[in-house]
Amino acid sequence: MKIDFQAATLGLIDIQPTFMPGGELPVPDGDAIVPVVNRLFGRFGDAFATQDWHAPNHASFASAHPLKQPYDTIEMPYGTQILWPDHAIAGTPNAAIHPAIDQRPIEVIIRKGFRPDLDSYSAFFENDRKTPTGLEGWLRQREIRSLFLCGLATDFCVAWSAQDAARLGFSVTIVQDACRGIGLPDPGGQTTIDTARRLLTEMDVTFVNSDEL
């Protein structure tokens, strides 16, 4: 795969202990991506990272809504919200970037979801799809045109980040062996991983394995 690395960067999406086995919202096999991500740094000169960064009693937590359970849904002013177990509490060790990740190539860290009443999956916008995180401006100033995304989870924060990046005109590639998904049930016997991949493919997002780079 031919890549102009001068105009490309690696994006680490929510590679935090809170999303790994033993964390509050574990993604199956989530910790397996850490060595793959560290190997990718050998191909990319720089990177950005995101962190889920929630206040206690965040509106996206099931615990904030009496009689609700994790993975129930509610309607918020910005649309349907899945309710999650409490996770990624700002300032806690499990909200940090995983300690085994080599952070030296990471130039900027975007913290998202810190507004108590507004969840955030995408690296670019909060879930109202209009409140920016500032990442787009950083990428434009750095003259980055191609994004290679890895992290957790494939069907939520990675997928939403990829969708927004594609809408903004970036070339987007997902390094699939450096990602893991949650895989909630979706209509038609599919999972949220299946649905995310179909939507992203329709948006010309590319999927590769790390050994193809």
How far the first Cα of the chain sits from its last, in Å, is: 6
Contact present, 158 and 165 (Cβ < 8 Å) = no
Does the active-site annotation cover 14? yes
- Nearest alpha carbon to residue 11 among 144, 114, 180: 144
8 three-state secondary structure: strand
DSSP state of 158: I
Q: Where are the beta strands (DSSP E) in the chain?
A: 8-13, 47-52, 73-76, 79-82, 106-112, 146-152, 171-180, 185-186, 190-191, 206-208
117, two tokens: 């009443």
201 CB neighbour count, 10 Å cutoff = 11
Q: Nearest 5°: CA angle at 162, between 161 and 164?
A: 65
Catalytic residue among 31, 52, 155, 157: 157
Place of tokens 């849904």: 73
List, in sequence order, every residue forming a beta bridge with 174; answer none if it has no partner.
149, 207
- Residue from 14, 31, 155, 164 carrying the catalytic annotation: 14
Say whether 157 is catalytic: yes
Q: 31, 52, 86, 112: which one is catalytic?
A: 112
Active-site residue list: 14, 112, 157
